[in-house]
Amino acid sequence: MANQNDSIINPNLAIGPAAGRNLNREFVERDFILDVATPLPATQPKIGRGGFAIPDVTFNHNFVNAFVNDLQPLPTRNEPRVVSQSIAPKTKVTPNTTVDITMTPRSVIPFDVFDVVHPALLGKPIDIVDSILHDATARQTLLRYDNPNDVPAAERTNLINQLQVAANVTVNDANANTSFSTAFQSLRSALAFD
């Protein structure tokens, strides 16, 4: 609501080069107040599952607050991982673009999803090697070296022994499919989902 000291914009004013001649000096010198206290409504995302929009839901905020406060953090290794998405990773999209993602727990992601995998790991879930991925020494080895040929003998032996115990994987460098290189790449791939 404007008071007598507030300016009111005259809707009859002309806009353009000749407009300046018609303006009242008193009107030009006055400030006006623009009410921005009421924000514009935010654009609501359209969330869907299986091709159908998810209906809006109202919540009992008292119960939700109590429920959320009682939740225990989920270890990150138990959270689902993205295994596919409809738009290529690292692609910029415009607001309101629909991106379909498929998420699954690590316990059901098989080694078969990787290009390079030791045959003894085929058909097995990636969490079978969790004991190796969570061993500080093995993890450092997997993170430190990009090339399996750079892994020192002691660290190589450690990984081979742990693979044998955790997943019954035998390394044989005489065969490219069962070589240390293939086993190492399999572990590094699994580490990406850890």
In a domain, 136, yes or no: yes
Q: Which residue has the higher pLDDT, 54 or 6?
A: 54
What pLDDT sits at residue 94? Answer: 87
Q: How many domains does the chain have?
A: 1
What's the mean pLDDT when you consider all of the chain?
79
Please say if the pLDDT value at position 28 is more than 60. no
In a domain, 180, yes or no: yes
What pLDDT sits at residue 54? Answer: 72
In a domain, 159, yes or no: yes
Using one digit for the tens of pLDDT, what is the confidence trace for 141-168?
Answer: 999 999 999 999 999 999 999 999 999 9
Residues 59, 53: contact at Cβ < 8 Å?
Answer: no
Please say if the pLDDT value at position 49 is more than 80. no
In a domain, 166, yes or no: yes
In a domain, 101, yes or no: no
Q: What is the DSSP string of 60-73?
A: -HHHHHHHHHHPPP
- Which DSSP letter does residue 125 get? B
What pLDDT sits at residue 56? Answer: 72
* Residue among 133, 145, 85 nearest 106 (CA): 133
d(CA 151, CA 173) in angstroms, rounded, equals 14
Please say if the pLDDT value at position 1 is more than 50. no
The whole domain housing 114 covers 107-192
Using one digit for the tens of pLDDT, what is the confidence trace for 61-120?
Answer: 888 888 888 887 766 666 788 888 888 888 888 888 888 888 888 888 899 989 999 999
Per-residue H/E/C for 97-110: CCCCEEEECHHHCE
Report CA-CA distances (Å) from 133 to 94, 108, 159, 192. 37, 17, 10, 10
What pLDDT sits at residue 178? Answer: 96
Using one digit for the tens of pLDDT, what is the confidence trace for 110-120?
Answer: 999 899 999 99
In a domain, 49, yes or no: no
Does the pTM exceed 0.85? Answer: no
In a domain, 184, yes or no: yes
In a domain, 147, yes or no: yes
Q: Is 123 left (phi over 0), alpha (psi -120 to 50) or beta?
A: left
